Amino acid sequence: MHDQDLHFLIELVRSSTGIQLDVSKSYLLQSRLNPLLRVEGMKDLHELCNALRGSGARRLLPQVIDAMTTNETSFFRDSAPFQQLAREVFPGLLDARRQLRKLRIWSAACSSGQEAVSLAILMAEHFPELRNWDVRILATDVSPAMVARCRAATFTENEMGRGMPPELRQRYFDRTESGWQAKREIRDLLHVREVNLIQPLVGVETQDLVLLRNVLIYFDEPTREKIFQGITRVLAPDGFLLLGTAEKPRSDGYERAFGPNANVFRKAA
């Protein structure tokens, strides 16, 4: 790959998504973009870069973003955070919002939807009273392809095998020709849209719980700070923030909500 093309692609990904790729990871660009080259009938990345510099940018850029964003996910991923949500976070939110009977939750990098669907199932299983509340799970991703998949809430047999217990599968999914689809009662809780976390969060209402798990690790420090400022602005004063195991808030204005071993935070009083 020409150095000029390498730096062009790295900057294109960074400016479009905030994801910072190292120059030494040129092989990652090649391997992830090869399927796009085949679909487009292009012989190499140089041809793709020329198209992206010209009239093909509008059509090709979303496909490049889809290829370069990490979509590793599973149902009830890591299990412990979901146990904590059921034991401590949701009971606290239900007590605090009982008069309003309104709850807003945001899966801020939803990928193909497993996290958002897991949240909906957790609420249906443990907190049936929420059926009579105004509950909305906002599920967002920068990838148009992932947004479409999340909106469909359809999963392959292999994806269902990653974290979805058989008894929950039977209760909350319908069989389809290609796999399984979340039942209407689950899908109705999801409000799915495309959101780029490095852009202003237009139209994102105040959230009671934000899940931003294993997201910040893909960005450089200034971008992490920018994302975190946006999240902080939309998180309710008494809301909760759930981060990935290796992540922590980019601000001193947060405290651990349930002891030193928890990765659930809330704004400091």
Decide if 75 is inside a domain.
no
CATH number at residue 34: 1.10.155
DSSP string, 157-173: HHHHTTT--HHHHHHHE
Looking at the fold, whether 15 and 84 belong to one and the same domain comes out as no
Looking at the fold, whether 94 and 226 belong to one and the same domain comes out as yes
Looking at the fold, whether 187 and 119 belong to one and the same domain comes out as yes
Residue in 200, 235, 236, 231 with CA at minimum distance from that of residue 216: 231
- pLDDT of res. 37: 92
215 touches 108 (CB < 8 A): yes
pLDDT tens, N- to C-terminus, the chain (269 residues): 688 888 899 888 888 887 878 888 788 888 889 988 998 999 899 999 999 998 878 888 888 888 887 667 899 998 889 999 999 999 999 999 999 999 999 999 999 999 999 999 999 999 999 999 999 999 999 998 899 999 999 999 999 999 999 999 999 999 999 899 999 999 999 999 999 999 999 999 999 999 999 888 888 888 888 999 999 999 999 999 999 887 888 777 888 888 777 789 998 76
Decide if 110 is inside a domain.
yes
Looking at the fold, whether 203 and 250 belong to one and the same domain comes out as yes
175 touches 200 (CB < 8 A): no
Looking at the fold, whether 86 and 60 belong to one and the same domain comes out as no
Decide if 229 is inside a domain.
yes
- Other CB atoms closer than 10 Å to residue 230's CB: what's the count? 18
Q: Which residues of 97-115 are buried (b: 16+ CB within 10 A; e: fewer)?
A: beeeeebbbbbbbbbbbbb
Looking at the fold, whether 149 and 25 belong to one and the same domain comes out as no
- pLDDT of res. 70: 66
Q: 17 lies in which domain range? A: 3-68
Given CA atoms 121, 266, 193, 215 in this order, what sign does their dihedral have? Answer: negative
User: 43, 68, 93: which is the final residue of a domain?
Assistant: 68
Distance CA 109, CA 33 (A): 21
**Can you read off the two tokens belonging to residue 41?**
């009938």
Domain count, the chain: 2
Looking at the fold, whether 23 and 94 belong to one and the same domain comes out as no
Looking at the fold, whether 22 and 84 belong to one and the same domain comes out as no
174 touches 205 (CB < 8 A): no
Distances in Å between the alpha carbon of 221 and those of 18, 19, 20, 157, 256? 10, 11, 10, 38, 21
Looking at the fold, whether 64 and 84 belong to one and the same domain comes out as no
Looking at the fold, whether 26 and 129 belong to one and the same domain comes out as no
User: Which H or E run includes 207?
Assistant: strand 207-212
- pLDDT of res. 254: 87
Looking at the fold, whether 201 and 256 belong to one and the same domain comes out as yes
Distance CA 173, CA 179 (A): 10
User: 68, 89, 108: which is the final residue of a domain?
Assistant: 68
Looking at the fold, whether 48 and 137 belong to one and the same domain comes out as no
